[in-house]
Structure 1
Amino acid sequence: MDWLFVPFEVSFVQRALWAGVLVSLICALAGTWVVLRGMAFLGDAMSHGMLPGVALAALLGGDLLLGAALSAGVMAFGVTVLGRSRRLSADTGIGLLFVGMLAAGVIIVSHSQSFAVDLTGFLFGDVLAVTPPELGQLGIALALAALISLAGHRAFVALAFDPRKARTLGLRPGLARALLLGLVTLAIVASFRVVGTLLVFGLLIAPPAAAVLWAKRIPVVMAVAAALGMLSTALGLLASWHWGTAAGATIAATAVALFFLSALGAELRDRVRDRPHRTEPAL
């Protein structure tokens, strides 16, 4: 059994595991609402829309986290403004912003001599190079995400299932949408520098999507999603250690694989449930 525990005796793998745990918890809080509201495309657009800010910060020698936050803020503002248009669907506005921001980021990064390295780091991060201060930043982000989730839970529930009822109950759906967008932005910005946009998006979507197939109550979905995210992190780091693969990409692939296993299990469960009804003789 040494092969199971030896990798986690190394200090940088331990820090990577803790980073994955914190990111899994943050993404479970935000990703549950992303899945329930069908906001997966928005999450993908937000994660890649940070590239211009990150590229500018890298070229100017500034803080990458600040650049990512500013770029995400521009993206969120654009989504909010275009979302009010009656002539454009929400997906159209998000798609235009996604392509525009991504193209602008690639153009900016192309002026750098380390184009390939910078873009690879943006997409995949370097979870094995996590430092203790970065773990502290993820801990603060988790506390903020928990506070937002707790404060906006009732409004988020109404917004996810019946926006008109949310307005009737005086829950201010416009403010709830902005708060929810802020929660998703927080999860993406806080985590991308450590694990890259690919891993953030993978943990933001795959574990909650797998949890929704089995759990009905939102807190249970969040708990199951967090557990699946942490399991993906541990299995991904283990596979990366023994097979020599990229840690971030392996964790993301593990999360997606667990989703498909969950979907297969849910399909088999539904078939077993329906089988007695199908074998009943017709009256």
Structure 2
Amino acid sequence: MTFLTEPFALEFVQRALIGGALVAVLCGVVGTWVVARGMAFLGEALGHGMLPGVALATVLGLPVLLGAGISATVMSLGIGALQRRARLSYDISIGLLFVAMLAAGVIVISHSGSFATDATAILFGDILAVSAADLVLLGWATGIGLAVAAAAHRPLVALALDARVAAVLGLGPRLAQAVLVGLVTLTVVASYRAVGSLLVVGLLIAPAVAASRWTSRLPSTMALASVFGVASVAIGLVLSWHAGTAAGASIALTAVAAAGASWLARVALTARTARTRSGSAVARA
């Protein structure tokens, strides 16, 4: 047990665990919708889309979170505008803005010679540096995200099943889509401090994929995805502590490994159940 509990004797690791758990719960709920809608690329694109705003905020001495929020919001609105005005498909709209925002961020960074370390923290996070103020922010973001997801549950379910049916039923698929994009934006912006803009996608997607193997209802998937996410945070921190690896990357890799293990366990259980039923049928015959 000492192997598992030793890291959490330190206060900064405790804060990392709490912050990571808040991120995991928010990602578990929002990620379930992302997986249901096949929008995994959006989370990755928004992670890159924050880069120019964060870079400009850092250079100008403004709050980094403000720059990240503005940049991600601009990208989210831009995706919707390209779909409506330019009649481009969803993935093409994301791809164009993905490249444009990433290029703009790199250009800003290239003009600031002292920005390399900050860029690394943005991309890969520093969960061990999470402060008490960060925990308050993550708490608010998680609370708001859960409240919005609960309030928009019916339109989001209809959107996940069939947008055309949602429109016929008057459930506002366009508004539901905007809410979902907003939830992904909130999750990525609020979480990048803990696990980085690139690695947040691991907690956004992998726990939801792992949970979907064992549940048939969305609320159950969200709950189980949150459990998988929190467990990934705890295990990732322990592995990072003892192996001397980057904490954020260790957490993301643990989450992806959990998704793979969940798939293998489900396949094995299904095969075993099939053999049992086949044996029972032969015995009865």
Distance in 2 (CA, whole Å) between partners of 1:167 and 1:177 is: 12
Structure 2 match to 1:163: 163
Q: For 1:1-283, what aligned pairs fall within 5 Å after superposition?
A: 1-84=1-84, 87-275=87-275
Q: Comparing 171-180 with 107-116, which one deviates more in the overlay?
A: 107-116
How far apart, in 2, do the equivalents of 1:89 and 1:220 lie?
A: 32
Q: Counterparts of 1:182 and 1:223 in 2: how far apart (Å)? A: 21
Counterparts of 2:128 and 2:276, CA distance in 1: 50
Q: Structure 1: where are the runs of 5+ without partners? A: none
CA shift, 1:111, in A, is 1.2
AA matched with 1:193: R
State, as a whole percentage, how many aligned pairs show the same letter: 55
- TM-score where L is the length of structure 2: 0.94
Residue 87 of structure 1: CA displacement? 4.7
Q: 1-side partners of 2:199 and 2:44: how far apart?
A: 11
The CA distance in 2 between the partners of 1:204 and 1:263, in whole Å, is: 17
- Contact persistence 1:198–1:249 (CA under 8 A): no
Equivalent-residue separation in structure 1 for 2:113 and 2:88 (angstroms): 39
Letter in 2 for 1:237: L
**CA separation in 2, counterparts of 1:113 and 1:267?**
51
Q: Distance in 2 between matches of 1:7 and 1:277?
A: 46
Aligned positions, number: 281
Q: Measure the CA separation in 1 of the matches of 2:86 and 2:75.
A: 19
| C-alpha distance in 2 between matches for 1:2 and 1:229 | 23
Residue 73 of structure 1 aligns to which amino acid in structure 2?
T
For normalisation by structure 1, the TM-score amounts to 0.95
Instruction: Tell me how far apart the structure 2 counterparts of residues 239 and 190 of structure 1 sit (CA, whole Å).
Output: 24
Quick one: distance in 1 between partners of 2:91 and 2:170?
A: 27
Superposed CA RMSD:
1.6
For residues 14 and 164 of structure 2, what CA distance do their matches in structure 1 show? 47
CA distance in 1 between counterparts of 2:102 and 2:118 reads 14
